[in-house]
Chains A and B, each alone.
Chain A
Amino acid sequence: MKENINSKQYSNSRQKEPKSAKIQTRIFKYSTLIGLGIFALIILYPLFWMLISSFKSYEEIYSDVWNLPGTWNFSNYTLAWEQGIQNYFINSLYVTGFAILITVTIGSMAAFTLSRYRNRWIDIALLFIIGGLMMNPQVALIPLFEILTFFNLIDTRWALILTYVAYRLPLTIILIRAFFLTVPKELSESALLDGCSEFGIYRRIYLPLSIPVVVTTVILNAFFAWNEFLFATVFINSSDLKTIPSGLMVFRDALRTDWGVLLSGMVIASIPMIILLIFLQKYLVRGLAEGSVKG
């Protein structure tokens, strides 16, 4: 009752002075817009600076920080590509590609079992996999180094692929399982009656129905594998085998003052992920949100 009266008073007072309220809203709107704009500038300007400076010569970057390049040195890009980025780029593609393929394949298989059956063992397995989310690569670094040395995998691309798969599996399985749980039971039951095998149900029913969530996990894992730094630095020594994030460090040390070329390399390294963001924003955001909430 009391609240009702109150609300009436509020709405009355609102109707009485619509003009000042309008002005207030307008002031709020424009001052906030200015704030948002400044923040956007703080985010964008360094990236814009990276892009324009990648066309400059060393002298120009050093002496004239703000201006556009006098001459646009596209040669910085060809130099960066030839002096190592090409190699790193291919290694990153290789590692990212295989890591995604293995993670999504065995992850969706595990998710299939975990969503279709329920008993004590399945619960334990589920707990085992969710627990994997809590473990952090930093803490396991030294034992992983020992294990990979034991398998003779140190300084190979597979050192990265296998560890990436392991650390990405928990999230991948949890996301795909959540989706598999929504697949109607009738579909698989009628398939079983038609003589379809378990593997057939997975291949022909569950996988085709789950394309959206598979796309989401592919993107999340691509994002992770393309940008991962710690393992890429510790497990790979030969500069021929380095991926882009760790390769850029080698690149910096080798180039010393060739800043334009270094900046071109940085731009090349960022392009694939920005394209991913622009075209697949919807899947990416959804995945990040679901992944973090369940983590």
Chain B
Amino acid sequence: MKKKFPLTPILFLLPSVFFLAVFIYIPLVQNFYNSFFDFNVFSNSKEFVGLAQIQKLFQDDVVMVSIMNNFKYAIISVIFQIFFALILASILEDKLFRKVAPTLRVIYFIPVMISISVIALLFSFIYNPQMGLLNSFLELVGLDTLTRPWLGNSTSAIYSVIAMSQWQSIGLITMLFIVAIQKIPNELYEAADIDGAGRIRKFFSVTLPQVKETMFVNLLITVTGSILVFNEPFILTNGGPGNSSMTLAVHMYQTGFSRDNMGYASTIATLTFLLSAIFALIQIKVSKTGKED
């Protein structure tokens, strides 16, 4: 027996399917296709070059620098936003800090709400070599030797950019952990209390296993975010000095829109997509095997 399937539901679904097809799925396919061509913004025709762009990818030193920077971004972000944020969240959910926790939660969350361009402009003031807050602070506490032009120095530039990202995003991940901790049934903690478990013991044997799923999701957000990062390095350093703080997305943007080499930029975008997809798949796989235990 066939159930009646009226027309309205199909009409309801169409606009969304259309938007996703035109602006998400077609561009993705188109991007793969573009990777095999040579063209610029105003060219009427695309010249087929086969695998030449991919060959170029392997000879491009900037790509290597970018990948290294994206990895640095990912590793530091995981340390701060997974480990530190989880500890912070469990402290804020502890009975001892019940009075101050709501206020602190909002304070830590404020930077998440502020536009990245405001944050990045603010940090270009903080890192300013002459009047910047960071150097002024270091002088104030007598650490003059540590002062430097944070963004103008090719060793410190990428770390300064990464530090700003941590400052902005830690509140978001902390909040996600807090929500997860609040969902843990209270009986588990009560049982641990009866067993005489201390704070640290409770963290490892109750909190940690219970927030495992959230942890994998946060790991996924953080790592793919690090591989795709564009705004922060673009506004603060534009990849400089030299190419020292270049990331894949900034390299792609500059190749396509500043140097007008759209074909090669598409190849870089494809590489970025594959990298983020591979890491996402690995993490999903690992989290699945973890669940079976």
Contact = CB atoms under 8 A, between A and B. Distances in A.
Do A and B originate from a single complex? yes
Interface of A: 3, 6-7, 10-11, 13-14, 25, 28-29, 32-33, 36, 39-40, 42-47, 49-50, 53, 61-63, 65-66, 106-107, 109-110, 112-114, 116-117, 119, 125, 128-129, 132, 134-136, 138-147, 162-163, 165-167, 169-170, 173, 197-199, 202, 223, 226-227, 229-230, 234, 244-246, 248-249, 252, 259, 262-263, 266, 269-270, 273-274, 276-278, 281, 285-286, 288-289, 292-293, 295
B199 interface: yes
A288 B214 CA distance: 12
Contacts of A50: 122, 125
A145 B81 CA distance: 33
Interface string B147-188: 000000000000000000001000110011001100000000
6 contacts: A33-B97, A44-B107, A47-B111, A109-B12, A136-B273, A285-B179
Given A138-B228, A285-B179, A293-B214, A226 B115 contact: yes
B23 A61 contact: no
Contact of A7 (B196, B213, B221, B265): B196
A44 B111 CA distance: 9
Given A65-B131, A144-B23, A234 B118 contact: no
A173 B16 contact: yes
Contact of A46 (B91, B126, B130): B126
B108 interface: yes
Contacts of A45: 133
Contact of B117 (A25, A138, A229): A229
Nearest to A168: B19
B232 to A, nearest CB: 10
* Most-contacted residue by chain A among B125, B230, B231, B280 (CB, 10 A): B125
B121 A277 contact: no
Contacts of B15: 106, 109-110
B113 A274 contact: yes
Contacts of B30: 143, 146-147
Nearest to A285: B175
Tell me whether chain A's interface is mostly helix, strand or loop, or mixed.
helix
Nearest to B42: A149
Nearest to B256: A142
B109 to A, nearest CB: 7
Contacts of B130: 62
Interface stretch (B1-9, B47-55, B202-210, B285-293): B1-9
Given A50-B122, A285-B175, A36 B104 contact: yes
Contacts, number: 254
B17 interface: yes
A263 B82 CA distance: 32
Contact of A277 (B109, B123, B253): B109
B31 A143 contact: yes
B83 interface: no
Given A40-B107, A62-B131, A162-B19, A143 B26 contact: yes
A65 B30 CA distance: 50
Interface residues of B, number: 89
Contact of B133 (A46, A119, A163, A249): A46
Contacts of A274: 110, 113-114
A40 B136 contact: no
Nearest to A244: B115
Given A62-B131, A135-B28, A289 B118 contact: no
B97 to A, nearest CB: 7
* Most-contacted residue by chain A among B19, B91, B213 (CB, 10 A): B19
A44 to B, nearest CB: 6
Contacts of A143: 26-28, 30-31, 34, 266
A288 B218 CA distance: 12
Given A162-B19, A170-B20, A140 B179 contact: no
A229 B249 CA distance: 13
B178 to A, nearest CB: 8
A273 B107 contact: no
Given A147-B30, A269-B118, A289-B176, 11 more contacts: A14-B196, A28-B199, A43-B111, A46-B167, A106-B19, A125-B13, A145-B41, A246-B117, A248-B121, A266-B122, A289-B180
A185 to B, nearest CB: 14
Nearest to B94: A32
B74 interface: no
B22 interface: yes
Contact of A166 (B23, B88, B256): B23
Contacts of A163: 23
Contact of B106 (A13, A110, A276, A278): A278
